[in-house]
Amino acid sequence: MSTTTVGVLRETAGRERRVAMTPDGVTRLRRTGVRVLVETGAGRHAWFDDPDYAAAGAEIGARAQVYEESDVLLVVRPPDDVAALPAGRVLIGLLDPLGDPALTETLAAQGVTAISLDLLPRTLSRAQPMDALTSQANVAGYKAALLAAEAYGGFFPMLVTAAGTARPAQVLVLGAGVAGLQAIATARRLGALVTGYDVRVQAQADIASTGAAVLSLDASQNGDDGYAQAMDADEAAVQLRALTQAVPRFDVVITTAKVPGGRSPLLVSEDALRAMRAGSVVLDLGGGNVAGSAPDTRTVTEHGVTVIGAPNLAATVPVAASTSYARNIVALVSSLMPEGRLPSENDDEVLAAVLICRDGVVVHPRLRDHEKEIR
Ligand code: NAD
């Protein structure tokens, strides 16, 4: 049997600075008996240079060569030239198949096999080392607190100096999943007085366990899969009204709320922004949580509130984010693809959960349902 080649592609999405495999990851992958071929300059924006990959045992090649010679192709986000993917290849990445079902159709039409880490069953202990959503959300939550602190005109901690005492910033974090809990922890380390809120009852306990205060509103959910459910219009309106009362008390608000496969809920209304003090900062990590926020954009409202749209912050901490992502990929390849090959059956529960199409056929039940809906 010939040796499997694992290719590492340079990311093509705008502002993306991560890379799917680090030199350290290459060393680990090589131990599984595969050849690794890295596209020229793939790690440049994360400060991993071609010679570092070569020293770890990878070969370096042009993009066309990586496409041509690789059996398995690694990315963080979908490449913008999927049409160049030859049939029979296995593409692994955060492909967002529920947000972008058309991509799965395209990949299937090309005869490609695709694995999306977004669909990993996160509570299975065997899958946890592969959990790229968690590793990237941790990085994003950390950076959200730093970015908000940088944009804020005051101190986060209480400072007692000869010139007087500065009060600590009051920070509110909305949405306390992985990113929100990391934002809470980081803002607390910076000395802010932090309050957290989440619609899930379990997440309220998680907030309390960090030592932060918990904002209680009437709206709460007991979902047993760990994810929030989309609210109906009336529930959402009640929640938004309650938050519009609460939000203006804070100097800094960081929002991280998401609903898997659905739209991120609006949590900070225009009225709330209007009622906040001038100099306050609102950072939207959830994408769509804050009225008027736009991705990768910083604006100041006419009342002096800075609104930062930052849905892809993991890409701005590329060394840490790529390092943990690469470990997730090494764990996945080592566990699901002995010697770099997929087993002939999809009966492994982790593999079945992340496999979206195989040899040109859409195999994931949630995506097959979607296919039926659009026909
Ligand atoms: P996510 O990114 O899907 O959402 C972020 C947060 O937004 C969630 O806590 C969600 O409850 C909250 N949210 C959604 N709508 C909201 C609204 N209207 N108002 C307020 N908050 C709202 O979540 P995530 O970070 O991916 O975590 C999802 C779940 O997965 C959590 O239960 C987490 O504990 C669990 N998880 C488990 C493991 C593990 O077991 N190893 C690992 C990672 C995550």
What 3-state DSSP class applies to 68?
helix
Position in ligand 1 atom list of the atom nearest CA 134? 43
Strand order in the sheet with 361-362: 59-61, 35-39, 5-8, 72-74, 90-93, 113-116, 355-358, 361-362
Global pTM reads: 0.95
What pLDDT, on the 0 to 100 scale, is given for residue 220? 66
Ligand 1 neighbourhood includes 203 CB (under 6 angstroms): yes
The average pLDDT across 25-54 equals: 97
State in Å: Cα 80 to ligand 1 middle: 29
- The mean per-residue pLDDT over the stretch 181-197 comes to 98
The more confident residue out of 262 and 132 is 132
Segment 190-201 mean pLDDT: 96
The answer on pLDDT for 222 being more than 70 is no
Instruction: Output the CA 128–ligand 1 centroid distance in Å.
Output: 15
Centroid of ligand 1 to alpha carbon of 180 (angstroms): 9
Convert 36-54 to b/e letters by CB count within 10 Å (16 or more is b). Answer: bbbbeebbebbebebebbe
Nearest ligand 1 atom to the CA of 225 is 32
Residue 261, pLDDT score: 78
pLDDT of residue 121: 94
Please tell me the distance from the alpha carbon of residue 208 to that of residue 299, in angstroms, as a whole number.
32
Q: Quote the pLDDT of residue 229.
A: 78
Query: Which pLDDT band holds residue 231 (cuts at 50, 70, 90)?
Result: confident
* Mean pLDDT, rounded, of the chain: 94
Strand partners, 116: 93
Report, as an integer, the average pLDDT of 331-354: 91
What is the per-residue pLDDT across 250-296, written as a single tens digit (0 to 9) for each? 999 999 999 987 899 999 999 999 999 999 999 999 999 999 999 99
> Using CA atoms, how far apart are residues 334 and 331, in angstroms rounded to an integer?
5
DSSP summary character for residue 11 = P
**Structure-block tokens of residue 234:** 């009336």
Counting from 1 in the atom list of ligand 1, the atom nearest the Cα of 231 is 18
pLDDT band at 113 (very low <50, low <70, confident <90, very high): very high
225 Cα–ligand 1 center, Å: 10
**Does ligand 1 come within 6 angstroms of the Cβ of 259?**
yes
Predicted local distance difference test score (pLDDT) of residue 211: 96
| Cβ–Cβ under 8 Å, residues 333 and 115 | no
Which region, left, alpha or beta, applies to residue 261 given φ > 0 means left and ψ of -120 to 50 means alpha? left
Flag the least confident range among 191-205, 215-229, 326-340: 215-229
Q: What's the CA-to-centroid distance between 199 and ligand 1, angstroms?
A: 10
The alpha-carbon radius of gyration of the chain (Å, integer) is 22
Are residues 114 and 95 in contact, defined by beta-carbon separation less than 8 angstroms?
Answer: yes
What is residue 280's predicted lDDT score, i.e. its pLDDT? 98
- In the predicted structure, residue 70 carries a pLDDT above the cut 60: yes
